[in-house]
Structure 1
Amino acid sequence: MGEGGAERSSATGEGVAPQAPSHRPVAKRIRNFAKKMRREPTDAELAMWRLLRDQRLERFKFRRQVPFQGFILDFVCFEKRFIIEIDGSQHASSARDEAREAILVAEGFRIARYWNNDVLQQPSAVLEDIFAKLAEP
């Protein structure tokens, strides 16, 4: 989203069924889209990245807009198998997100979802919640 504030549609790769096991190369289309999303983050994604980058959250290394099994993960710490998703209103009660989450949980990931407004207006509370979740076994 950048400066204008418009949110991406849910057709941006989120909720797409995986095409191949995780050990196979990611489709070029998805890799290119992830690169575009890194170049043009939403305001909330940019704010979250400023908080997470360079291992600013203790020692945990996060990557952003990572292609994984046909999905694009907003932020992921592979060491802790922990995904952070920053969502706009298009994700409220999304069956596609539920299906996507079930696949990722089956792969051993834990997922935390935060609304754009929470990231932008209450970043300390969001970080505190993330840190508590990272401390869980």
Structure 2
Amino acid sequence: MRLEPTEPEKRLWRVLSGAKLGGHKFRRQAVIGANIADFLCPQKALVVEIDGDTHADGSDAMRARRLVDLGYQVVRFTNHDVMTNLEGVCERLLAVLNAAPDRWHSPHPNPSPEGEGLNEDEVT
């Protein structure tokens, strides 16, 4: 799916990529444990799923529980929602993002083992 996203995923990604939705950064096809999220906002620990014909209610509920247990919030939209009401989807997403707490204070420090990122004298 990563190389061939669905049309609804393409349309939503055009809005989410480049931090276009309220300045929130997203990743597409993000790996979280044994799951691959359609979209992930790491700063807000928000997973966005676009449900189409390949999604099953029972397995989706179990998957959402696993993600919630890992500390993520899951928001779902249908293909139909994205295709016919993209503006409403974006309004709902922005409301959820603005209500969600940040996982860390920006800028996120680089956890590089080589010590790259913040210098000791820059840490307050």
**TM-score between the two structures when normalised by the length of structure 1:** 0.69
Q: Which amino acid aligns with 1:56?
A: K
Of the three residues 19, 25, 30, the one matched with 1:61 is: 25
RMSD: 1.1
Aligned twin of 2:105? none
Question: What displacement does 1:56 show?
Answer: 0.2
Question: Aligned residue pairs: how many?
Answer: 100
Structure number with the bigger relative contact order (C-alpha 8 A, sep ≥ 6) is 1
Of the three residues 100, 123, 133, the one matched with 2:86 is: 123
Of the three residues 96, 106, 128, the one matched with 2:69 is: 106
Aligned twin of 1:22? none
CA shift digits 1:14-65 (9 cap, x unpaired): xxxxxxxxxxxxxxxxxxxxxxx22200000000100100000122100001
Question: 2 CA distance for matches of 1:85 and 1:102?
Answer: 13
Aligned twin of 1:82? 46
Question: What displacement does 1:118 show?
Answer: 0.8
Aligned twin of 2:114? none
Aligned twin of 1:50? 14
Question: What displacement does 1:91 show?
Answer: 2.7
Gaps of 5+ in 2: 101-124
Question: What displacement does 1:89 show?
Answer: 3.6
Runs of 4+ in structure 1 over 4 Å off: none
SS across alignment from 2:21: coil
Question: What displacement does 1:90 show?
Answer: 4.0
Q: Which amino acid aligns with 2:17?
A: R
For the pair shown, which has the larger CA radius of gyration, 1 or 2?
2
Gaps of 5+ in 1: 1-36
Question: 2 CA distance for matches of 1:71 and 1:121?
Answer: 27
Question: 1 CA distance for matches of 2:2 and 2:83?
Answer: 18
Identity %: 39
